[in-house]
Amino acid sequence: MDKRFLDVRPSPLAGRWYPAHPQVLTQNIEEYLAAASPPPFEGEVVGIIAPHAGHRYSGPVAAYAYALLQGKSFELVAILAPQHRPYFAAYVTSAHQAYETPLGIVPIDQKALAELEGQLRASAGESIKRVRQDEEHSLEIHLPFLQKVLGQFRLLPIMIGIDDPKGLQVLGVALAKVLQGHKALIVASTDLSHFYPQSLAEKLDREMLQRMESFDPLYFLRAEVEGKGFACGRSAVATAMWAARELGADQIKVLHYATSGDVTGNYHEVVGYGAAVILRRPQS
């Protein structure tokens, strides 16, 4: 795709969060994918849940989810990501027409975005705020993996700035209506606990992964309120659950877990990373 004819968001992450050189980036992703060995599962992939730290830290875990997409094709990918910066809006997207990474251009599906906003306006009177040249890493970090395993696709990027279950359910149901009838994939972006000692991080993260597999968005969201587990992208995961359930998904399967300590060797303060797949299993 020729970016001369598009308003393209330049990458603020290339060279910092992942390699800026296309060949090095490609090689790294290929190595992560080759090393991943996700467990067997039955069903159709509706979505994945993957971490969003720099590739060096979370790439080996994210690869467990992305490895399942190899050989598949999706025309539309909706990425749900948390907002790490104050955009002062419940729902945010890019004001640009496309994202750029060292692996090329990813066009934003403007029609799908308009349809989603129409659904939100009709059901909740909400709009989607457009921002230019955002520095949000939790969304972009997934694009090189998607470009590598899927090739061409259109993007529906949503950055979520609320924890309110009602607002998340509204977004999930609206998203499902937009994705219905498309060959679509949902990507939920989240890390797990932050900066606890390894033993405590494992306990907290185990709770979050168990609640993730319950496929109950309210139960998942309550973990942080109860102090039993933490996920910076909990809103993205819960929204993905509501959307995927509307699309007929009935299972979430955790694929892999690790921490930053497994990369750095520092287990005194770690960040937890988990990968999972959202499935629509065949009816018996």
The DSSP call for residue 215 is T
Cα angle 266, 82, 20 (rounded to 5 degrees) comes to 65
> Mean pLDDT of residues grouped by 10 in the chain (284 residues)?
81 98 98 96 96 98 98 97 93 98 98 98 96 96 98 98 97 98 97 98 98 98 97 98 98 98 97 98 80
pTM: 0.96
Element (H, E) at 256: strand 251-259
Distance CA 92, CA 130 (A): 6
pLDDT of residue 62: 98
Distance from chain centroid for Cα 90: 17
pLDDT of residue 33: 98
CATH class of segment(s) 3-280 = alpha beta
End-to-end CA distance of the chain: give it in Å, rounded.
43
What are the domain boundaries of the chain? Answer: 3-280
* Rounded alpha-carbon distances, angstroms, from residue 174 to 119, 124, 158, 242: 6, 10, 12, 10
Give bridge partners of residue 275 from the DSSP assignment: 256
Give bridge partners of residue 150 from the DSSP assignment: none
pLDDT of residue 48: 98
